[in-house]
Amino acid sequence: TAILDGTAANTVNGDGQIAGSTVDGAFIASVDGSYRDWSGYGAFGNNAAGTVAGYAVGTNPYRPTSLPFNPAIFDGNRWKVWDIAQLYSRGTRKGVYADRFILNAINDNDLAVGYKYRYGLSGSSAILIDTNANINSASDVVYLPIPNGGSASAINNADHVVGTTGNNSSAGEYATAFLYDHASGNVTLLGTLPSDGPGSEPGISSYAYDINDADQVVGSSWLVTALTSLADPTQYHAFLSTEADGARVLLDLNDDPAVPSDWLLTRATAINNFGDIVGVGIVDGIEHGFLLTNGAVVEPPPGGGNQAPVAVISASDTAGRAPLTVTFDGSESADPENGPLIYAWDFGDGGSDSGVTVAHTFDTPGTYAVILTVTDDHNQQASDTVTIVTKKGGPK
């Protein structure tokens, strides 16, 4: 079924209800041909009852870009919006920062998960909302105890949540897939695949996208062992995390004998309760969607799946005498689907910022790895790094 006004179909449930994105909002459709859309909303996950999780765009009377996002669900008849996102001033400038709550998934217990960040600042927090509870302020949201904040991408009917931790490069901590048990409060880091086969050094990052009711988790692992600006999709391998002998194990889906030798599976984005897996792979240098089911890979039409963004940094200076003020520009970063990007800067000295173009002053001599992380509207990320060297002395 073609959804002509949709730019991305983000989720489908067992009854064939589909929810996704339009140019300026969200749509909900079904296999019987019904279709509705709204401007100013996002729709990313649905449950068996047809409740859709997402967000609603709020208003900012001070500036048109710093718009707040409120958590929202569509219950089959109307959107239920929790008006809890706030605006914040920067000095005398009002409305510079804005809360953004985004719900990525909802289970059959009506628990929704996602992430919250503040527009204009870096970092995010994985969140959980009981959609049947009274949510009167941001303090009524459950902020999950995930290292460095992170984001939640999916929740199963046992209330087990998966997602990705945040980054703290100054401490050598990079995004890693996690599994969170809401009942016990336990967080399990799922690790990363080895960079060059069994026994080799682990890759630097991993990302979890979905979990089924058997606690099988799928995602992608970045195989590089150090941050790099090289955008090489072949350095990502799709994984399956499952339990064996009482412990979690991370399996490279490319080691499955059912995967043809000319395929490289790079991202596994969803898994159902039958163990069928869909995602993105590469054949002859071209990305295709895949379905891994019943011991075989079935290829949907070319170009399936959301593609990860590309991060690119330029800097006005890379060396000089402290204090050195450098302007950083991330405008060459891009999303293949032309979607919006979130820009988060880590300056390597404990400082951070957000926005396409930022300026930062390095007050003390040293060598600093400045990292730009861009996140697209499907919560896929990419990073670029530039090194800044400052020496003792006055201005450059």
What one-character-per-residue DSSP string does 236-265 give?
EEEEEEEEETTEEEEEEGGGSTTS-TTEEE
Is residue 277 predicted with pLDDT exceeding 80? yes
CA separation for the pair 1, 262 (Å, rounded): 29
Does pLDDT of 54 surpass 60? yes
Question: In this structure, which topology does domain 314-391 adopt according to CATH?
Answer: Immunoglobulin-like (2.60.40)
Please state, rounded to an integer, the average pLDDT across all residues of the chain.
90
Give the pLDDT confidence score for residue 58 in this predicted structure. 97
Give percent above pLDDT 70 in the chain: 93
pLDDT > 70? residue 295: no
Which residues is 195 bridged to in the sheet?
197
In the prediction, which pLDDT does 300 show? Answer: 52
Neighbours of 230 (CB within 10 A): 7
Rounded to a whole number of angstroms, the distance between the first and last alpha carbons of the chain is: 61
DSSP for 337-356?
Answer: T----EEEEE-SSS-EEESS
Instruction: Say yes or no to pLDDT of 341 above 80.
Output: yes
Average pLDDT over residues 155-182: 94
- Write down the pLDDT at residue 395: 47
Architecture, CATH, for domain 59-68+88-298: 6 Propeller (2.120)
Sketch the domain layout of the chain as residue ranges: 59-68+88-298, 314-391
Q: Is 379 left (phi over 0), alpha (psi -120 to 50) or beta?
A: left
Q: Which of 72-86, 136-150, 276-290 has the lowest mean pLDDT?
A: 276-290
Reported as a pLDDT band with limits 50, 70 and 90, residue 293 is confident
Q: Which amino acid is at 16?
A: G
How far apart are the C-alpha atoms of 247 and 211, rounded to whole Å? Answer: 16
